[in-house]
Amino acid sequence: MIELAQITKRFGATQALKNGQLHIEAGDIHALLGANGAGKSTLIKILAGVYSYDEGSFKIDGQTIRFASPKEAQQAGIFTVYQEVDTALIPSLTVAENIVITTENFWVKRHKMRQQAKEALALLQSTIDVNSLVSELTLAEKQVVLLARALTQKARLIIVDEPTAPLSSTEAKQLFAVMRKLQAQGVAFIFITHRLHEVFEISTKVTVMRDGSHIMSAATKDVTEHRIIEAMLGKSLQATKYLATSAPTTVVAKLEHISDGNKVKDSSLTLYKEEVLGVFGLVGAGKTELAKVWFGERKLAQGKFGYPTIEKNFTHPAEAIKAGVVLIPEERRKEGLFIEESVCTNLTFPSLHKFSVGLFIKKAREVAQSRKVIQQLGIKVANPHTPVHYLSGGNQQKVVIGKWLAQQAMIYLFDEPTKGVDIGAKEDIYQTVRQLAEQGKGVVYFSSESSEMLTVCDRIAVMYDGRIVAELTNAEATEQLLLYYASGGTVDEASATLSL
C-alpha cells in the first residue's frame, strides 16, 4: 500500500502542491486527473523520486518515505513510463538489452539476457522479437518494452503518463490488455490521461486534482463523466457544435493532387478566408504528412499548391513562413519549442527582426510583445522569463501558437493541437482558432478527434489511407459519419449503411 497525504511542494514563490493525496493498493489502476497546472506532474515526480516534498506524509506499507533520487524510487518498485518513451530507451540496442540491462547488472550473459526478456514479454503475452532493434519498433511496442523492463525489476507501481496519446485505438486496446495482465499479478498503475472515456474503460479508481489540491477520490464505477469534469474545472462544461453563419467565398489556398510518394496520395483541398477547415483521420491516415508537405518540411512528389497571387510548392519551412503559412506541429516539445529557453524567447524568436536594430535586440520591446501575447492567449506563467519547460502542456501549446501571431501569417496549420491538453485548455485553443478565422485568416485543423471537428470547424475533409475520401459541412457531419469515412467507408455506401 502506497499513501500520500497533505503533500506540499513549493518552487520559489510558486506553490505547486497545496494538498496532494493518493491512496494506492496492489492491483489498482488509479486514474489521476486534473487540468493543466493542477499539480499532477509534481505529485507523480515526488512519487518517482524526481522531487522531494516539503511537508506532508508519504508512506509505503506504513513506513515513512522520502526518496532522494529516481533510483531510490525504482529500488522501492516505483517506475514511470513517460509520454516521450524514446527518452527512456536506447534505439541502437536490442529489445532484450533495453529490457534487462541496467546500471545494476550491466555485465550479463547474452543468452541469459534474451531469456529474461522473453519471459517478461511472455507474461505480457507479447510477440515482440527480443533480437529486434528498438529503433524498428512502433510506439506501442516501445511502451510494452518499458513495461517489460519494469516487470523484470519487480515493479509494484507503474506510472503511465498519457500513454495512449500517440497510439491508434487498436494500439490503445492492446496496451490496456497488457495493463490488465500486470494488474492481475498485483501490479498497480497510476494512469494519467485527458481522454475521459479511457478512464471508464480501464481504471478502477479515480482521483481529481485542481489548483494543487486534492478534490475528490472515488471508485470509477461510482462517478460520472459530468462529475469528473465539474471536479476538474470547478464548473460544468456543455458540449457544443459550431454553426457557421455564412459560407466563405474567398479562396486563400488550393491544393491539387498532392502526393509525397508515400503517406499522402492524390489529395486535393480548397481553403477559404475566414474559415476553419478540418482534416479528420485516424492515426496513420496521412494528416501530419500532408501538413508537413504543405509547410515545406516534407518533400512534394506530385501536385501543386496555389495561392491568390502565386503558385508555389515550398521546399523549406522558411519559404512557407515568408509566404505567410505557419505550422503548429503535433510534437510541440520536439518541433515547436526551444524547451529550455524562456517563454519570451520562444514567443519572439520568429519575429526577432521586429525587435532588432542592426545586431542588437531591443529587449524592452521584445518583452513587451511577449507580455501582449501572454495576455492575449491567457498563458499561465509567472513572468516572460520563465523557462518554457516549467509550463503545463496546454500553456506550452499556447506559446507555440503565440509565436506566430506577430508574423501576421495568413494560413495557420494546426496539427493535433489539443494532444495531451486538458479540457479547460482545449476550450481556450478552440477559441483562439475561431478568433484567427474571424480575423480573416485561413485555418486548417488536423485532428483524429471527431468531436473536435464538430466543435471548431466550418467544413471537414476526411482522410483515409493518404487520400481525401469525403468532404462535409459542419451541418452535414456527425461523429458516426466521420468515423465511417475515416475507417474506409465510401460516399456511395454511406447513406445505406448509416441508416440501418
Indicate whether 498 pLDDT > 70: no
Alpha-carbon distance 448 to 493, whole Å?
22
For residue 296, the tally of other CB atoms under 10 A from its CB is 22
Each residue's pLDDT tens digit, 450-497 = 889 999 999 999 998 899 999 999 999 988 888 788 877 665 555 544
Cross-sheet strand order for the sheet of 275-280: 325-328, 411-415, 442-447, 275-280, 459-464, 467-473
Confidence class of residue 291 from pLDDT cuts 50, 70 and 90? very high
Give the per-residue pLDDT at 421: 75
What pLDDT score was predicted for residue 238?
53
Say what the pLDDT of residue 500 is. Answer: 43
85 pLDDT band (50/70/90 cuts)?
confident
Is residue 441 scored above 60 in pLDDT? yes
Q: Tell me what pLDDT residue 87 has.
A: 79
Q: For residue 65, what pLDDT is reported?
A: 92
pTM here? Answer: 0.64
- Give the three-class secondary structure for 17: strand
- Is the confidence at residue 136, as pLDDT, over 60? yes
Mean pLDDT along residues 281-297: 89
pLDDT at 497: 46
pLDDT at 59 over 80: yes
| Cα separation, 313 vs 321, whole angstroms | 13
What pLDDT sits at residue 499?
A: 45
pLDDT one-digit tens code per residue, 165-210: 667 777 788 889 989 989 999 999 999 987 788 899 999 999 999 8
Buried b (16+ CB within 10 A) or exposed e, 452-481: bbbbbbbbbbbbbebbbbbbbebeebeeeb
Mean of pLDDT over the chain? 87
Overall average pLDDT of the 305-315 stretch: 89
Residues 200-244: tens digit of each pLDDT: 999 999 999 988 999 999 999 999 888 887 888 776 555 555 666
* Residue 435, pLDDT above cutoff 50: yes
Question: Which of 95-99, 239-243, 352-356 shows the lowest per-residue confidence on average (mean pLDDT)?
Answer: 239-243
What is the arithmetic mean of pLDDT over 130-143? 88
- Check the CA dihedral 347-352-355-360 and report its sign: positive
How many C-beta atoms surround the C-beta of residue 320 within 10 A?
A: 22
Domains of the chain (ranges, CATH numbers) = 2-233 (3.40.50.300), 251-498 (3.40.50.300)
Task: Give the span between the Cα atoms of 222 and 207, in whole angstroms.
Answer: 12
CA 431/CA 441 separation, integer angstroms: 14
Question: Can you give the pLDDT at residue 235?
Answer: 66
pLDDT of residue 138 exceeding 70 = yes
Check residue 183 and give its pLDDT.
94
